[in-house]
Amino acid sequence: MTAPKLPLEESGGRAPLLEVDGLVMRYDTEAGEVSAVENVSFALARGEAMGLVGESGCGKTSVALSLLRLAPENARYQSGSVRWEGVNLLDLSDQQMREYRWAEISMVFQGAMNAWNPVYRVGAQIREAMDQHFDPPLGSSETEQRIDQLFQLVGLDPAVQRRYPHELSGGMRQRAVIAMALSCDPKLIIADEPTTALDVIVQAQILEELKEIQQDLGLSILYISHDMAVIAQVTDTIGVMYAGKMVEFGSTQEVFHRPSHPYSFLLLSSIPSVTGPRRRPMSLEGTPPNLLAPPSGCRFHPRCPWATEQCRQEEPPMMPIGPSQWAACWNAEQVPQMGEPAP
């Protein structure tokens, strides 16, 4: 399958920084083989912000961990590639991969409190990450100065670095995690549910700060979230995942306003609108399939109101819908526009 990528002219001529092509990843469990990531493809340009969205268990985090080669030991890459500036990261040894983690690609992990060792001060933990990846290592005063600058960049008092994680509020811990992710000047930050467990005011502040940091530093960011409304505020492109597969990919504006896959449409229809026309939010009936034995054909067909016999029997490929939008659906033309009634 051809990887769904924004044409370079649509991305301002920016060359791809990251290219994921046909990635297939399984988890070997006592119950059997879990089909966690199935033929996922996308590209991310320099300075671009992309979102991966979908329900819990759809494979978003598995894809993110694959980019850093941090998937659990029972994970197995069956096929595909993850190319970083032309280098396939899946071919590298563990020692070679260490040169890319944090120095090239870093991650804001889900659950800020769990990202910190509770017995060490916050600044000491950031310093350790910098000592591991800067060659030659920075001097003590230079490291201290850099951490101060990072904390100011994310809206924290530099004195916070001398505190322990439990002494910080949830928003402060999340900002400190972002500072750690920035500590080694990466080109790409993976933000896995960066606003989970935060109140809506702090969520908005964190997202706005991430957006400003991205623009100021020219970073690429891959956001992982189940909330399409959050993703739409901060991304250029969106990939919608369901049951381990990418089912729609395109520019944020196109996917958000003109979804072409039933799953994307139903996800968006379940979100109340405070600015658009008044409408009753729709529910997404059913539950995601068991990935030990995924359904035949389109994996969404048991929950899809437009499913046909072809959907039940044949797996749809990614098909172009517009100049920068793709959907894996046999009946994409039947998906209503946002605001239209569903069947």
H or E element: which one contains 214? helix 200-217
Question: Which residues are CB-contacts of 98 (< 8 A; sequence separation ≥ 6)?
Answer: none
pLDDT computed for residue 29 by the predictor: 94
Calpha distance 268→238 (Å, rounded): 13
**Sign (positive or negative) of CA dihedral 76, 79, 81, 87:** positive
pLDDT computed for residue 228 by the predictor: 82
Dihedral Cα 302, 238, 316, 285, nearest 10 deg:
10
pLDDT computed for residue 113 by the predictor: 66
Question: Which residues are CB-contacts of 8 (< 8 A; sequence separation ≥ 6)?
Answer: 14, 15, 45
Q: Which two tokens stand for residue 214?
A: 């991205």
Q: How many residues does the chain have?
A: 343
Neighbouring C-alpha atoms within 13 Å toward the C-beta of 208: 8
**Residue 327, helix vs strand vs coil:** strand
Low-confidence residues of the chain, pLDDT below 70?
1-15, 112-113, 135-137, 197, 272-281, 338-343
Query: Cβ of 139: how many Cβ atoms within 10 Å?
Result: 9
- pLDDT tens-digit profile of 80-99? 999 999 999 999 999 999 88
Its pTM stands at: 0.88
Question: Which residues are CB-contacts of 50 (< 8 A; sequence separation ≥ 6)?
Answer: 42, 44, 220, 221, 222, 223, 235, 236, 237, 238, 239
| List of domains in the chain | 16-104+193-337 (3.40.50.300), 112-185 (no CATH)
